[in-house]
A and B are shown apart, each in its own frame.
Chain A
């Protein structure tokens, strides 16, 4: 159904797709241009910085591909359609999160993964399969944190009828993950590690790939994923208790 919707508005969604490509391409061109003038950035080489950049886009694209449906929740609640969701024999949270996959982002994953593999080759990562495995594990942990952030957003929408401001703050904050976290001052790194865990989501997998992940950082990532995920599920349960139907 989602695919049919995209195909019926080809100009609209074609333009959205090219907009994503343009945004990605220009940012990549900017990074390449930077390295025409310098050899390192915060101690990282060109392809190491590109690894951070591609990881940020990879995780963000996975999130957008899976959770596009979250932007429809507020309208459903406002119009009273959410009553029909909670009364059905299906998990209302899963339905709210996964009902509308974004096929544009699924398609965008193809060139993105190609570039990721190209970067692996340039960095000589294939000679360290353990790093690739760790990278995949921490991408999974990042996805769990992403799920948690989206659950928090849905919960806040159900509870307060507030718009999806929270999720847009996260979407905007993902820009900070495009570059290695060492460029930021310590207070900024702390905020975006524990309060809005962008650094955990992006930098931890990238550092695992590069073989420079410390055990402390790895444990912090696991702890943050655990706290955020189970905390978000608790928040969802509380928000459902506070849900007041607007219809019927």
Chain B
């Protein structure tokens, strides 16, 4: 029913677009539309932010109470823990996305078929669609933190120098791509099963904890820490934040960034493979 020849490779554009500028214009339009859509549904936006504000409140006071007596908890000082909590709040907003279940829904209800006839790559369409939401969430997270710091008079560690800033930005950009590839891959399982939301829910909780978004992973036992360091999740929040805190030496930072890139390559290949196999099974049910 639907031509699949032009849509066999999810990371490249369909049809005959030769100009990269035209290609970027399309995705920028997707970005702007998603931005407007996000601001249209303000109740859903406030609800999503309320969850993150609750996490911020809880984690700030937990770590503060644990480090209040001695000024330290585990290998972290109070300011380092506060910085970790604030950093996790910002990284949640810019890396984790609430829209990321949409592709699975679209595959299950048949609206995915629209993407097969559009001259855009589904992968990049979804990426730019989610990027708009993350940009809004990030702006909101910054405002929330400013208010929070003003109310609590919390102390945290600022950025050290521009060199470190660039390295941190690289780790965060890698984390954004890594997270997106992971969630996009999980969404593609909807090609095989209509019961994709349950596994997605399970995956999200593994991701939340394994990424270090709730607590620094090195407060866990050595066995658990080593286990998590072999998984990609630890390189999404934990690795960038530890880099910011200056807890790694240059060799460890280089190794961590290399591991992020390796995981990005591995999951890119898995996405391509899963996409091709999934398209063969897709039947457009529901439309």
Give bound CA distance, A34 to B205, whole Å.
20
Give bound CA distance, A141 to B55, whole Å.
26
Interface size class of A (residues with CB under 8 A): 35 or more
B65 touches A173 (CB 8 A): no
Given contacts A176-B54, A183-B61, contact A22 B202 (CB under 8 A): yes
Give bound CA distance, A30 to B63, whole Å.
12
B201 touches A184 (CB 8 A): no
Given contacts A19-B205, A33-B220, A33-B221, contact A169 B50 (CB under 8 A): yes
Q: Which residues of B contact A36 (CB under 8 A)?
A: 219, 221
Give bound CA distance, A228 to B206, whole Å.
36
Cβ of A83 to closest chain B Cβ, rounded Å: 25
CB within 8 Å of B: which A153-193 residues? 162-163, 165, 168-169, 172-173, 175-176, 178-179, 182-185, 188
Q: Which residue of B lies closest to A164 (CB)?
A: B47
A165 touches B58 (CB 8 A): no
Binds B, one of A37-45, A112-120, A217-225: A37-45
Looking at chain A's contact residues, the main secondary structure is helix
A37 touches B54 (CB 8 A): no
Binds A, one of B111-119, B126-134, B190-198, B277-285: B190-198
A165 touches B61 (CB 8 A): no
B204 touches A19 (CB 8 A): yes
Give bound CA distance, A168 to B45, whole Å.
13
Return 29 A-B CB contacts under 8 Å, by A number.
A9-B195, A12-B197, A12-B198, A16-B198, A16-B201, A16-B202, A19-B198, A19-B201, A19-B204, A19-B205, A22-B205, A22-B206, A22-B209, A26-B205, A30-B209, A30-B215, A34-B66, A37-B73, A37-B219, A162-B43, A163-B43, A168-B50, A172-B50, A173-B54, A179-B58, A179-B62, A183-B65, A184-B61, A188-B57
**Chain B interface (Cβ < 8 Å from any Cβ of A):** 43-44, 46-47, 50-51, 54-55, 57-58, 61-62, 64-66, 73-74, 152, 193, 195, 197-202, 204-206, 209, 214-215, 219-221, 224
Extra contacts besides A184-B61, A188-B61 (14): CB < 8 Å? A11-B199, A12-B199, A16-B202, A19-B198, A23-B205, A27-B214, A30-B220, A33-B219, A37-B74, A42-B65, A165-B47, A172-B54, A176-B57, A185-B152
